Amino acid sequence: MTYMAIPNIGNYTIALATAVESLGIKAWASTATTPEALKLGIDAAPESVCLPLKAHLGHFIEADRAGVEYAFMVNSVGTCRLRYYRHMIGQILKDMGLKIKIFGLGFDGFKPPIVRYFDPGPITFLKPLFHTVLKIKVIDELEVASWRTRAIEITPGDTTRVMNKLLLELSKSKTMAGTRAIRKKVAGCFAGIPADKEKKPLKVGLVGEISFLRDKCLNKNIEYILGSQGIELRNFFLLGEELKNISRIVLLNQNRRKSLSRIADLYLQCSVGGHALDSVAHSIHCADEGYDGMVHLCPAGCMPEVSVRPILKRVSKDKDIPILEMSYDEHTEGVGVATRLEAFADVLMERRKNTSLTR
Amino acid sequence: MNNYGYLGIDVGSISTNGVIISPEGEVLHEIYLRGKGNPIESVQLCLAQLTAELPDSFRIKGVCTTGSGRILAGAVVGADVIKNEISAHARAALHLYPDVLTIFEIGGQDSKVTILRDGAVVDFSMNLVCAAGTGSFLDSQARRLNITIQELSSRAMTSANPTNIAGRCTVFAESDMIHKQQIGHDQKDIMMGLCHALVRNYLSNVCNGKEIKPPIVLQGGVSANNGICRAFKEALQCDIIIPPYNMVMGAYGAAIIAGKSCLEKTKFRGKEVSTHHIITKGFECGDCPNNCEIIEIIDDDKLIGRTGGRCGKWEGKTGTRESLKRTGPAGPVSGHSTDRQMEDKTCKQVDNVPDLIQIGIPKN
C-alpha cells in the first residue's frame, strides 16, 4: 500500500485522510503533532521560523522514517509564510537527504500535478471527495457540540471521551452510509452526557493562527483546559466554514473576507495576511455579541498575528472585552499556559460577578 | 491566640516560600527560602522551619499551594486548594491594601502586572516568551560583578548619575554593561543603570497598553531590591508601595485563599511530612503517541500522586498503574485538588480511547 503524509490539522485530519483515498492511496497522519515529531522538526528547521512550520516539517520527517513515500502540503494564497512552507519543507527534506516526495496543491493546466501523478479513475477520484465533505461537516458538528457540553458537564472528561470515541468511529468509517449514521448519533451522544443545564458558563472566543487553533499538541490542549474550567468556547476555525467560503468565492463571487473587513473597518482596512483580519473582526463581533473574553493564540514570529496585536489591545479597550494574548514557541511550557488560562478564568468570573452586582 | 490557622506555600522558580496565617488573616510565621533545585526538599524544609516554632496544639485547617511547582507541592503536603500565582498575589495585595489599582510582581523567572478596579482583578499580563528583566538576570549580573544581590541593591541607591544601559534584551544589556564598564563608568552608576533598564523593559513589554494607575504595589522577590523601587518611582513619577511581606506575598495570598475556601476537613498530611523520605519516579505512559512522561510521587513506598500527563488520566490519582492504563482522557488537567479519584461510571462503555488518533501506520 502506498502512503502519503498529510499535514495534521487537528480533528479535521480524519476527513482529509479520506480525501487522500481519492488518489487511490492511503493517508498517514494523526490528529495532533506528536512530541517526537515536534522535536525532529525543531532540530531540522532554522531557529527563527514559526512553530507550525517546525511541526509540519517534523511530521514529514517522522513519516519518512516510518517508510512513507509521499507527502502533501497546502500552499496558501495568503500573504504569510505558509505560502512558502511547501518549498521550504521540500528543500529542507532534500538537504537532509530524505527520500520522501512532497506535493503541493498547485495548478499548471487542467489537472493538478498531484492528480496527474497518481492518475486515479474518475469514480475513485470523486467518491472520497464527497465523503470528505460529509466528514468535515460531522467534525464541525462534533466540535461545536463539544465546546458547549464540556463547559457544563458534571464529570470532568466525559465530553472528551464521547468526542474521541465518535472521532475514532469516524476515522474508521469507510462508507458514506456509515458516516451518515455517525452524524445522526452526534446530538444524542452529547445530550446523554450528564450536565448541569441550568449553568450559565462564561463564553470565550478563540482566535489566532490556524495551526494553533487546531493542533492540541501545539496549543497545549487549550480547548480542554478552558473547557474543564467551565468556559464555553467558540473556536474561530471550522473547516466547513472555510470550505463554504471557497465555494462562495467560486460560485457567487462573495468573499467572506469582505464581510469581515466591513466589521473590522474601524480598526484595520487592509488584509495583513494569514488569519489576522479574522482575529480582529471576530474579536469585535464577539464583544458585540456579549462574550466574556477572547484568547488570541499567536506563534512567536508570526507576522500577521503579531501585527494585529496592538489593534486587538485597542479593541479590548474600546469594546471593554478582556483579550488574553498567548504567544507560543517551542519553549512554551504547559504549566505556563495553564497558569495564564486559570488566572484569565478567575478574572472573567470576577468581572461577571461585579457586573451582575451593579445591574 | 487562636490555636488554628492556614498554610500557604508558593513554590517558585528561584525560591520556596511559606506563610502561616491566623483565621483573621494575620501573618503568624513566614519563611523565604532560596530553592536549591529540589522542590520537594525545599517544600519539606520550608514546612519544617515554619512549624518548628508552633505549639503542638496548633492545628492547620487548610493548605493552598501556588507557584509553578504548585501541583508537585500540593501532592507532597496534601493541599486543599491549588491556585495560580496571579490570583494568589492579587488576593494578598487586596487584603493589605483594599484600594490598590495596580500590582507589579517581579519574580525569579517571570514578571506580571495585574490591573485591579474596585477591588477586583480586571486584567493581567505576564511576560511572554522572554525572561528579560526578571530576578534571574539581576542575580546573574550581580554574580558576574562578584557582589551579592543585597550589595547591588544598596550600592545602586547611592548612584547620583545612572548610566544608560540598553535593556531590550538581557544579552545585549550584558554586553552594553561590559562596554560601559570598560570605558570607565563607575560600578554603582552601572548598577543603577541596570535597574533603570530592567524597569524600562518591564514597563514597555509587560505593561504595554495597560492603564497603570496608583496606588501601585510592588511585590515578588525583586521588590526587595531598593534600586528597582527607586527606578520605578523615577520612571512613573509616583509612589510605589512595598508591602510588609513583599517577598512572600504569593504564599500569603495562598494562605488567605485556603482560609476563605470554607473547608470542612483539610487534606493536610501533617507537619511530619517534612521528615518523610519522598522520591519521584518517572515512567512513560505509552498509551498514545504523545508518550507523556508521568512522574509518580512516592512517600515511604506509598504512592501519593502523579503529575506530567496531558490527557488528565494520571493527574493526581493514586490507583495502581495497571488500573489507570488505557482509561482514556478524563479528569482535570490542573488547577484542581489532587487526590480526587474520578468516578467514571457514567461513561464506562466509551473507555479505551487515546488522546490522539493515528491514521494509517504502515505495518513494517
Residues 6+ apart with CB under 8 A from B222: B106, B107, B111, B134, B135, B138, B228
User: Which tens digits make up the pLDDT trace of A329-357?
Assistant: 887 777 788 888 988 998 898 888 888 77
Q: Do A280 and A248 belong together in one domain?
A: yes
Q: Do A163 and A152 belong together in one domain?
A: yes
Question: Cβ of A156 and B290 within 8 Å?
Answer: no
Question: Cβ of B357 and A26 within 8 Å?
Answer: no
Q: Is the pLDDT of residue A257 over 60?
A: yes
How many other CB atoms are found less than 10 A from the CB of residue A181? 12
Q: Do A116 and A16 belong together in one domain?
A: yes
Q: Do A206 and A349 belong together in one domain?
A: yes
Q: Do A62 and A210 belong together in one domain?
A: no
**pLDDT in tens for each of the 364 residues of chain B?**
578 889 999 998 888 999 999 988 889 888 998 877 888 888 988 888 888 888 888 888 899 999 888 888 888 888 888 888 888 999 999 999 999 999 999 887 788 899 998 888 888 888 766 666 678 888 888 888 788 888 888 888 888 888 888 777 777 778 888 888 899 888 889 889 888 888 888 888 888 778 888 899 999 888 888 899 999 999 999 999 999 888 899 999 999 999 888 777 888 888 888 888 888 888 887 777 777 888 888 888 888 888 777 776 777 677 777 777 766 554 333 223 333 333 333 333 334 455 677 776 654 4
Kindly state the cell numbers that stand for A282: 471576530
- In this prediction the ipTM stands at 0.77
pLDDT band at A161 (very low <50, low <70, confident <90, very high): confident
Mutation for testing the A interface, residue in B347, B349, B363 having most A CBs under 10 Å: B347
Question: Cβ of B208 and A313 within 8 Å?
Answer: yes
Using a 10 angstrom Cβ sphere, with 0-12 exposed, 13-18 middle and 19 or more buried, the burial of residue B349 is exposed
User: Which tens digits make up the pLDDT trace of B120-140?
Assistant: 888 888 876 666 667 888 888
Q: Is the pLDDT of residue A248 over 80?
A: no
Q: A66, A90, A120 — which closes off a domain?
A: A120
CA–CA distances in Å: residue A10 to residues A73, A162, B356: 15, 17, 9
- Give the CATH number for residue A20: 3.40.50
Q: A98, A120, A142 — which closes off a domain?
A: A120
pLDDT band at A241 (very low <50, low <70, confident <90, very high): confident
Query: What total of structural domains would you count in chain A?
Result: 3
CA–CA distances in Å: residue B331 to residues A110, A160, B296: 52, 10, 17
Q: Which residues of B touch A171 (CB under 8 A)?
A: 357, 359
Closest residue on chain B to A159 (Cα): B330
* Domain coverage including residue A80: 3-120
Q: Do A61 and A112 belong together in one domain?
A: yes
Q: Do A345 and A254 belong together in one domain?
A: yes
pLDDT band at A220 (very low <50, low <70, confident <90, very high): confident
Taking one residue from A and the other from B, the number of pairs with CB-CB distance under 8 angstroms is 170
Question: Cβ of A228 and B364 within 8 Å?
Answer: no
Q: Is the pLDDT of residue A68 over 60?
A: yes
Q: Do A63 and A146 belong together in one domain?
A: no
Task: Write down all domains in chain B, each with its CATH number in brackets.
Answer: 4-91+250-274 (3.30.420.40), 98-242 (3.30.420.40), 277-350 (no CATH)
pLDDT band at A107 (very low <50, low <70, confident <90, very high): low
Amino acid A79: pLDDT: 64
What does pTM read for this prediction?
0.84
CA triple B72-B74-B75, angle to 5 deg: 65
- Nearest chain A Cα distance for residue B96, angstroms: 19
Q: Do A236 and A357 belong together in one domain?
A: yes
Q: Do A351 and A327 belong together in one domain?
A: yes
Amino acid B300: pLDDT: 81
Q: Do A173 and A189 belong together in one domain?
A: yes
Q: A198, A231, A253 — which closes off a domain?
A: A198
Question: Which helix (DSSP H) or strand (DSSP E) does residue B8 occupy?
Answer: strand B4-11
Kindly state the cell numbers that stand for B306: 502523579
Question: Cβ of A350 and B122 within 8 Å?
Answer: yes
Using a 10 angstrom Cβ sphere, with 0-12 exposed, 13-18 middle and 19 or more buried, the burial of residue A39 is middle
Q: Do A159 and A39 belong together in one domain?
A: no
